[in-house]
Amino acid sequence: MSSFRTGKFIREDAPKRLRNLVPGEAIESVYELSAEELVENGIKLVLLDVDNTLLPWRHDEIPQESKDWIAGLSGAGLSICLISNTRNRERLAKIAGELGIEYKVGKFKPSREMFFAALEDHGLQENQAIMIGDQLFTDILGANRSGIRSVLVRPMTKKEFIGTKANRLAEKALWPSLTRVMEEEEDDLPIVKKEGIFQKRIVRQIAKFCIVGGTSFVIDAGLHKYLMFSSIGGARICTEFGTWIQTLLHGTKPTEWQAYNAAFTVFKVFTGGLAILNSFFWNRKWTFGIRGKEDRGQQLVKFVTVSLIGLGLNVAIASGVNRILRFEDRTNWIIATIIAAAIVAIWNFSGQRLWAFRRRGSSGG
């Protein structure tokens, strides 16, 4: 489905004849569903499709991200079971064994047989399980017919079984009708709508962004402070370095104030760069929940663009304020650093959320 969109659906608003084909939610990949969110929503059993959901079709090598995600679910106490229509049962058993989870065989989805067998094995009710897969006519239809919550994921690759390709044509034709009952708001939890400000996605993102920003601030400000105010062998690092830089660039020995300002700017570029690397890793994976490899290169380019502009603002604002103020050196440094960090934090969050890590199909609102 080239028009694949992410978001939650209101099944009750769909025409009755289509209702069992409407997923509870559509997401980019399984990695977006965290163990914490599943447990909070009362899920105890995760049912999973295999091909193009956990690993590419006909591949035997399981992506490390899938292994890590499964390990995270198991570590949270969730039971996991593979529900696949594959005819290669040896491959299914091998994959399940490598992941250390269960699998079911039986009548192919959308039959309810495998779904009910998994529930019976664990002594669970339908509302305690969730099915995640990439096909409407097997994974979603089977789960909905069984009374189990369903989540549709974008297929990992375009390579598929010929029968699946035929299903995709029907899915493509139906998809516009299904998206008419998609919720417009982005700020709810993926599975069950809850009340409370901290259940809103943007609020949780801001909280996580602040935590990541705090660690990046410590890296930036902590290392910068050390370089600016520490001494080695009785000589102040910033004075020695600033003198060397100014002499190299201008051929004359600078005053102590000129050396200090030169070192301030150069050190700020270095420490700010380290903070950017820290922010990219944690904001991508944790704040905005982007865990798949798809589009990672493009996201990195966008992130670096946003961050370099932020770094430029950081350096310009901090250096400018530092030059304007005429307090004691440490007081100047504290005021300049805090003002720059506050302004740049607003820029970075907006740029990362609305552009660098914006999910396809999201309005960004």
Residue 154 has pLDDT above 80, yes or no: yes
Residue 41 and residue 130 share a domain: yes
**330 close to 229: Cβ distance less than 8 angstroms:** yes
Domain boundary among 193, 224, 258: 193
Residue 99 and residue 237 share a domain: no
* pLDDT band for position 73 (cuts 50, 70, 90): very high
365 inside domain: no
- The residue ranking higher by pLDDT, 354 or 288, is 354
Residue 94 and residue 58 share a domain: yes
CA distance 233 to 168: 71
Residue 179 and residue 234 share a domain: no
Q: Strands 25-27 and 7-8: what pairing?
A: antiparallel
CA distance 269 to 318: 11
pLDDT at 199: 53
Residue 352 and residue 241 share a domain: yes
Average pLDDT, the chain: 87
Residue 205 and residue 189 share a domain: no
pLDDT digits (tens, 9 = 90+) for 26-61: 999 999 999 999 999 999 999 999 999 999 998 999
Fill in the amino acid letter for 124.
L
Residue 206 and residue 188 share a domain: no
Residue 346 and residue 273 share a domain: yes
Domain boundary among 137, 171, 193: 193
Domain boundary among 163, 193, 223: 193
Residue 67 has pLDDT above 70, yes or no: yes
Residue 210 and residue 123 share a domain: no
CA distance 272 to 100: 42
Percent pLDDT > 90 in the chain is 50
What the block records as the tokens of 44 is 């105890």
Residue 258 and residue 109 share a domain: no
Output the pTM of the full model.
0.53
Helix, strand, coil fractions of the chain, as percent rounded to 5: 60, 10, 30
Residue 206 and residue 172 share a domain: no
Tally of domains in the chain? 2
CA distance 105 to 360: 34
CA distance 214 to 219: 9
Return the C-alpha torsion angle 245, 249, 255, 257, nearest 10: -60
Residue 121 and residue 77 share a domain: yes
pLDDT at 146: 96
Range of the domain at 281: 201-356
**23 close to 151: Cβ distance less than 8 angstroms:** yes
363 inside domain: no
- The residue ranking higher by pLDDT, 151 or 167, is 151
CATH number at residue 24: 3.40.50.1000
* pLDDT band for position 362 (cuts 50, 70, 90): very low
CA distance 100 to 225: 48
Nearest Cα to Cα of residue 286 among 216, 353, 230, 212 = 212
pLDDT at 284: 79
